[in-house]
Amino acid sequence: MAAVQKDFKKSVVYQIYIKSFCDSNGDGIGDLPGITSKLDYLARLGVDYLWITPFFPSPQRDNGYDVSDYCAIDPVYGTMRDFDTLVAAAHERGIGIMLDMVLCHTSTEHEWFQRACAGDERYRRFYILRDGRGSMRADDPGEPPTNWQCAFGGSAWEWEPRLGKWYLHMHDPSQPDLDWTNPEVRAACADVVRFWRDRGVDGFRFDVVSLLSKPEVIEDVPGDGSACRSLVADGPHVHEYLQELVREAGIDGMVTVGEMASSTLEHCIRYSRPESNELSMTFNFHHLKVDYAGGNKWALTEPDIASLRDIFRTWQERMQEGGGWNALFWDNHDQPRAITRFGGRELVGERGGSWEHVGKMLAIMSFSMQGTPYIFQGDELGMTNAGYASIADFDDVESKNNYRILLEGGATEEEALHVVNERSRDNGRTPMQWTAGEHAGFTTGTPWLAVPDNHVRVNAQGEEGVPGSMLEFYRALVRLRHELPVLAEGRVRFLDAGVAAPQVIAFERTLGGVRTVTVCSFDDAPCCVRGLELAGMQCMVGNYDEAPAPAEDGSLELRPFEAAIFLR
C-alpha cells in the first residue's frame, strides 16, 4: 500500500506541470530531477501530495496527454531511476506522489493503435471504429459517421486508410479513444495503474474519466456537434468501469481524483461518495465558464459573479448533502490564470495593487470551502497570464486551432490574438518563476515556452521569507487548513451578503461550537455586507495589511477585492 497515506480531506495537493516546473539539464524542458531539486521548497510550503502531469513517452501533440507507452518514462523527462529517486525523496519528506492516468485515449503512436492499423483484430477492438456516412465501398471514406466535434475544434472522427474506418477522438486526431466496452481494454488499463501502484506511488488523477463510457448508440447531436461532450459524459457504464478499475488495480484507499469533463452534480456525488468505491474526489469546471459569452470559451465577457456564487452554492452544499467530496481549484494547465481573469491585472505600487488582493482573495476562498484545495504551480507566487505579443509565442494545439477559427470567422489578427491571450491554456503552462534572473531561473537553456516579463517582480526567490508576500500567505493558509478542523470538516452553508454587496460571495463553516465565515469581494470598488452575523467575530486571515473589523451591528465595509475569514 501507499507509503504516504494521509486523510485526503485534511490534505492540500500541489499540481506540477512537469514540462514547465524546473529544468535540470538545460534543454529548456522541465524534468523529474528538476522536481526532486525543488522538494525542499514544496515541503516548506507544507503540501501533502504532488500531482504530476504525464511524463510517459509521447509524441507531445497534446503535451503528454497523448501517451504512446503507459509504463515507461519519456527520455526528455528522465529515467525510471530518476522517477524512483523522486518518489523516495518525496516520501522522506512525508509528501505523496499522484500520477496522471490518461486512460480514455492513447496516442496514435501507441503500440495498440499501431497493431490495429497493421490489421490485428484484437487491437482493432481496442478503438471505436465506424464506417463513413454515405460510403459506397470499403476504401471510400464518405463523410464522418456523426457530426461530433472534438474538444480542440474540428470533427471528432478521423479516417484511417489502414483501418479502412473512421476512428473516434474526443480530443486531438492523434488521441484515438479507447473502447471501454471491451473487457481487454479495461484489463489492460488496470494493469497500467497496478504497475505504478507497485512502483510506489500514493495516488492517481484520472484524465477526462467522465468520458470513458460512450453512449450505446452513436448518432448526431443537435446543433454544430459540440454537444457530443455532454452526451458522452457520465455514460451508461462509467461507474461500473471505475469500480472495476479500483478493484482490479488494487487502489482502494489510495487518494484519487477524477477530471469530470461536462459531468453533472448527481454523477459527481456518485463518483466521490465513499460507498461507491470509485474516487476520493472530483474536479468539475462549471465555475470556470462564468466568463464565456453564451457558453463559448472563445467569446469574451466579464465574469458573472452572481452565477459564480450560484454554482459554488449548489456544488458545495449539495455535494456535502450527498456525501461527495470536491477538489477545489482555480487554475490548472488547461486554464488561463484566475488572478488575471478575476481582475488582478494591476501589478503596481510596492505591494501590487489588485494583483495582490485578487490572488489572496482566491486563495482564501479555495482554502475555506468544502473539499480538498489544489495549488497549481505558480498560484502561490501570484503568477498571471502570459501576455504574449504574437501568435508565434503560443504552443498549444487548442489555442492555434481556435486562432485560425477566429480569423476564418472574420476577426482581425489583433482581435484573435487578444482572445487567445485571454483564453489560451498556455497561460497556465508558462515556466515556473523561480527567480528574477534570466528565464526566471527555470532553465539555463532556451525555455520551450516564453517566460512572462513580470517574473522580475513575481518569483519565488523574491517572495521567500518576505512577510505579506503571496508565497508566505499561501504557506500560512496551508498551515491553517491543517490546524483548524472546521475548515477541513465543517458543515458549509452559503450566506446572503445583502443587496449592497452583489459582487460578494460569503459562506460559513461550522463544526461543534466553532463557526467561521468567509467573505470574498470580487468588486473593484468598496461595498458593505450585512446579515452575516459577524458581530463579535475575529478576523483570522485577510488580504489587506489591516484586518477588517465588523461594526457593532454586524455589518462590514469591504475594500476592493477584500477577503477575510472570521472565526468564533
Q: CB nearer to Ca ion: give 31 or 356.
A: 31
Residue 62 touching ligand NOJ (CB under 6 A): yes
Helix (H) or strand (E) holding 405: helix 397-408
**Residues facing 553 on adjacent strands:** none
259 in active site: yes
Cβ proximity of 38 and 450 under 8 Å: no
Q: Which of 97, 192, 208, 539 binds ligand NOJ (CB under 6 A)?
A: 208
**CA 280 from centroid of its chain's CA atoms:** 16
Angle at 561 between CA 309 and CA 466, to 5 degrees: 125
25 binds Ca ion (CB under 5 A): yes
The site map against ligand NOJ for 162-201 (x = CB under 6 A) is ---------x------------------------------
How many whole angstroms separate alpha carbon 247 and alpha carbon 243? Answer: 6
Give CA separation, 558 vs 190, 455, 525, 526, in Å: 52, 30, 9, 6
Does 65 contact ligand NOJ by CB under 6 A?
yes
- 102 lines the binding site for ligand NOJ (CB under 6 A): yes
Q: Which strands make up the sheet holding 491-495, listed edge to edge? A: 491-495, 504-511, 514-521, 563-567, 538-542
Q: Return the range that interacts with Ca ion (CB under 5 A); candidates 15-23, 39-47, 315-323, 501-509.
A: 15-23
**Could you tell me the three cell numbers for 85?**
529517486
Least distance from Ca ion to the Cβ atom of residue 23, Å? 4
- When the beta carbons of 178 and 477 are compared against ligand NOJ, the nearer one is 178
> Of the listed 207, 331, 523, 562, which one is catalytic?
207
Pairing of strands 96-101, 49-52: parallel
The residue (of 232 and 565) whose beta carbon lies closer to ligand NOJ is 232
| Residue from 207, 331, 426, 463 in contact with ligand NOJ (CB under 6 A) | 207
CB nearer to ligand NOJ: give 170 or 471.
Answer: 170
- 8 A C-beta contact, residue 474 and residue 379: yes
Among ligand NOJ, Ca ion, none, what does residue 334 contact (CB within 5–8 Å per kind)?
A: ligand NOJ
Residue sitting closest to ligand NOJ (CB): 65
Q: How many residues bind Ca ion (CB under 5 A)?
A: 5
Position of minimal CB gap to Ca ion: 31
Looking at beta carbons only, is 25 or 510 nearer to Ca ion? 25
Q: What's the min distance (Å) between Cβ of 52 and Ca ion? A: 14
Q: Give all strands (DSSP E) within 53-136, no chain letters.
A: 96-101, 129-130
- Amino acid 440 reads A
Provide the minimum distance between the beta carbon of 94 and Ca ion in the complex, in angstroms, as a whole number. 27
DSSP 413-454: HHHHHHHHHHH-GGGGTSPP---SSGGGGS-SS--SSPPPGG
Does 205 contact ligand NOJ by CB under 6 A?
Answer: no
* Closest separation in Å from C-beta 80 to Ca ion: 16
Our CA angle for 266, 269, 272, nearest 5°, is 150
In the complex, the smallest distance separating the C-beta of residue 98 from ligand NOJ, rounded to whole angstroms, is: 14
User: Among candidates 39, 71, 36, 37, which has minimal Cα distance to 55?
Assistant: 71
Torsion angle, CA of 327/561/433/62, rounded to 10 degrees?
A: 50
Q: How many residues bind ligand NOJ (CB under 6 A)?
A: 9
Q: Which is nearer to Ca ion, 37 or 510 (CB)?
A: 37
Question: Can you give the C-alpha Rg of the chain in angstroms?
Answer: 24
- The interface with Ca ion within residues 124-183 (CB under 5 A) comprises none
Q: Is 79 in the site for Ca ion (CB under 5 A)?
A: no
Angle at 383 between CA 55 and CA 505, to 5 degrees: 110
Q: Name which position in 15, 20, 22, 23 contacts Ca ion (CB under 5 A).
A: 23
Which residue's entry shows cell 486563495? Answer: 363
Residue 48 contacts ligand NOJ per CB under 6 A: no
Of 254-293, binders to ligand NOJ (CB under 6 A) are: 259
Map the footprint of ligand NOJ across residues 301-340, applying CB under 6 A: 333-334
- Binding residues for Ca ion (CB under 5 A): 23, 25, 27, 29, 31
Residues with catalytic function: 207, 259
- Binding residues for ligand NOJ (CB under 6 A): 62, 65, 102, 171, 207-208, 259, 333-334
